[in-house]
Amino acid sequence: MRVRFTRIVDTPDGGSRFEDGSQELSPADFAPPAPPLGVSTVAGARSVQFIGGPPGWDSPPHPTPARQWLVVVAGAVLATTSDEVERVFGPGDVVLLEDVAGVGHRARVVSDGPWLAFITQLA
């Protein structure tokens, strides 16, 4: 089993771009006596929190404040990288934000309702 996600990464010219990523989940006894589940490798987390914005919220280009995982819980956000490529992320989408330097990315809430995400800053 594999988990698929999108990465937003820095480019050598100080910009950002999307990359598709995935990670293998290996069977493990995660919560005995439940049957084995597919689990990823362990990554240290520095903090976890929810973030969100109302419909129409719009940001200028910005780098992510730290390398972090983002999981969309509700609503939809349009992300634009410095090469002008756009992707919409909705509930259940997973993004690894790694554009910590340079101009970063732009984000705009495009759903009719609020956008809500769970974010984990990596150690």
Which tens digits make up the pLDDT trace of 9-45?
Answer: 999 999 999 999 999 999 999 999 999 999 999 999 9
What average pLDDT is seen over the chain? 97
Which two three-digit tokens encode residue 14?
């100080």
Domain-by-domain residue ranges, the chain?
2-122
Determine the pLDDT at residue 112: 98
Determine the pLDDT at residue 49: 97
Cα 74 to Cα 52: distance, rounded to the nearest angstrom: 9
**CA nearest neighbour of 97 among 114, 113, 77:** 77
Determine the pLDDT at residue 78: 98
Q: Domain 2-122: which topology?
A: Jelly Rolls (2.60.120)
Determine the pLDDT at residue 40: 95
